[in-house]
Structures are given as C-alpha cells and as structure tokens.
Amino acid sequence: MNIKIIGVGKLKEKYLKQGIAEYAKRLDSFCKLQIVEVTDEKAPEKLSDAEMIEVKRKEGERILAKIKAKEYVYALAIQGKQRASEQFAAEFDQLTTYGHSDITFVIGGSLGLSPEVLQRSDDQLSFGKLTLPHQLMRLVLIEQIYRAFMINEGSPYHK
C-alpha cells in the first residue's frame, strides 16, 4: 500500500518533524509513506476575498499536480465527515480490500483548500470544528493513519 500526504508549506518546527518522523518509522512495516510539501503562496496578512480565492487556486494547482488519476484522495476539511478512529480504520481497510492501494491525504494551507482540490477528492475528512495549524495537522493525521493500522491489526495501541 502507498500512502501519500500532501501538505502546503514547509514544516519548520523541530518537534513536529520529530513526531512525524517517529510515526513514519512505525508505518514502515505497513505501507510505503511519502510526504510531499508544496510551496505555499506568499500573501499579505490581510487579504480581500478575491485575493484569498487566488491564493487557494494557486496552491490548489500545485496540489493537483502531485495527484495521479488512480489515487484515492481524502481532503482534510472542516466541513468534511467526522469519524471515530475505529470507523476510519474500517473504511481504510475497505479501501484496500476493494483495490485502492494508493491513498492520498491533502492538507491545505492556512486558507484551506481550493474548490478544485475538494472536487478532485473522493472523500472529505474532518478532525472536528477546531481550527488547528496545518503543520500540526500533519502530525495528527499521520498518528491517526498509524492508529488505523493498529486497530485493524487488533493491537492494544488503540486502548
């Protein structure tokens, strides 16, 4: 199985890099993990609606360029479907059972994802209504992916 995480912007914080590296190492025995960073669009602090749309469009183009046609895509979005870890693990297991061996997760930049990326996604995943930094979401996501494998394996990790 191939899992790709596409994130907007470069990860700078050492503690996040270390956490992600730890879970990436743990995932080695379950899948081939690829983390792809696309450049975030430089923008001033205060943006008009039109400028926000343009920033998301440009970042969206960069994201879409990293997604192949055969990949099953989860877009992380506040308006997406919330799931319990067990439900996510079961869905994850079903995807592989039905021939989806290339699964991609997309985390947008600080403004979110463009409509084009949301349209390309096969599913939208929400981790709740809380606003979290998109860099922190990478760590949260990779831990949940690892947790899904542990649940499906019957491991006590999830308890």
Q: Give the residue carrying structure tokens 């394996």.
A: 153
Options 3.90.226.10, 3.40.1280.10, 3.30.420.10, 3.40.50.2000; which CATH number does 2-158 get? 3.40.1280.10
How far, in Å, CA of 129 to CA of 152, rounded?
26
The predicted-structure confidence for 68-82, as pLDDT tens digits, reads as follows 999 999 999 999 999
Confidence at residue 45, expressed as pLDDT on a 0 to 100 scale: 84
Task: Tell me: is residue 129 an annotated ligand-binding position.
Answer: yes
Q: What angle do CA 103, 108, 110 make, to 5 degrees?
A: 160
This prediction has a pTM of: 0.95
Task: Tell me: is residue 92 an annotated ligand-binding position.
Answer: no
Confidence at residue 134, expressed as pLDDT on a 0 to 100 scale: 84
Task: Tell me: is residue 64 an annotated ligand-binding position.
Answer: no
Confidence at residue 106, expressed as pLDDT on a 0 to 100 scale: 98
Confidence at residue 41, expressed as pLDDT on a 0 to 100 scale: 93
Task: Tell me: is residue 9 an annotated ligand-binding position.
Answer: no
Q: Is 62 helix (H, G, I), strand (E, B) or coil?
A: helix
Task: Tell me: is residue 131 an annotated ligand-binding position.
Answer: yes
Q: Which residues of the chain have pLDDT under 50?
A: none
Confidence at residue 62, expressed as pLDDT on a 0 to 100 scale: 98
Task: Tell me: is residue 113 an annotated ligand-binding position.
Answer: no
Task: Tell me: is residue 132 an annotated ligand-binding position.
Answer: yes
Task: Tell me: is residue 127 an annotated ligand-binding position.
Answer: yes
The predicted-structure confidence for 136-150, as pLDDT tens digits, reads as follows 999 999 999 999 999
The encoded tokens of residue 132 equal 């979290």
Confidence at residue 155, expressed as pLDDT on a 0 to 100 scale: 92
Confidence at residue 131, expressed as pLDDT on a 0 to 100 scale: 82
